[in-house]
Structure 1
Amino acid sequence: MPLMLDSFLLIIPFIVEFAKNNNINMSQLLEEALLNLYFQKKALLGPGPGFEPGLGDPQPHNRQFWQNAFIQIQNPAYGTENHFSRKLLMKATNSERSGNTEYVITKEHLKLLYLELKSKNVQEHHLKFVKRSINRFLSHIRSYGEYYAFTVEELISYLQKLQNEYNPTTYRKQLTYLKKLFRIAQIPLENYLKTKRTIGVDRTIVTVADIKNLINTVKMLRQKGDLNEKIQDRLIVALLLMATSGIRTYELTKLKVKDIDIKNMTIRITEDVSKTSEARVTFFTREVQKLLKNYVQKYDIGPEDPIVTYFALEKPFLKKKELKEQSLRPKHMRKFFSQEWDRRNGNTTVKKLLMGHSIRQDINILHYSHHTEKELKEIYDKVLGNLRFTV
Structure 2
Amino acid sequence: MIRHPEKFQQLLAQVRDFVRTECIPLETQVDQSDEIPEALVQRMRDLGLFGHSIPEAYGGAGLTSEELSMVNIEVSQAATTFRARFGGNTGIASESLVVDGTEEQKRRYLPGLASGAVTGCFALTEPGAGSDATALTTEAVRDGDDYLISGRKCFITNAPIAGLFTVFARTDPAIKGAAGVTAFLIERGTPGLETPPAYRKMGQHGSPVGEVLLDRCRVPASAILGGQTGQGFRTAMRALNKQRINLAGLCIGPAIRLVDEMVERAGTRKQFGQPVAEFQLVQQMIAESNVEVHAARALLLETARKRDDGQDVTMEASMCKLFASEMCGRVADRAVQIFGGGGYIADNVAERFYRDVRLFRLYEGTSQIHLVNIARRTMALAQR
**TM-score, length basis structure 2:** 0.26
Larger Rg: 1
The answer to which structure, 1 or 2, has the higher relative contact order (CA under 8 A, 6+ apart) is 2
Q: Which of the pair is proportionally richer in strand?
A: 2
* TM-score, normalised by the number of residues in structure 1: 0.25
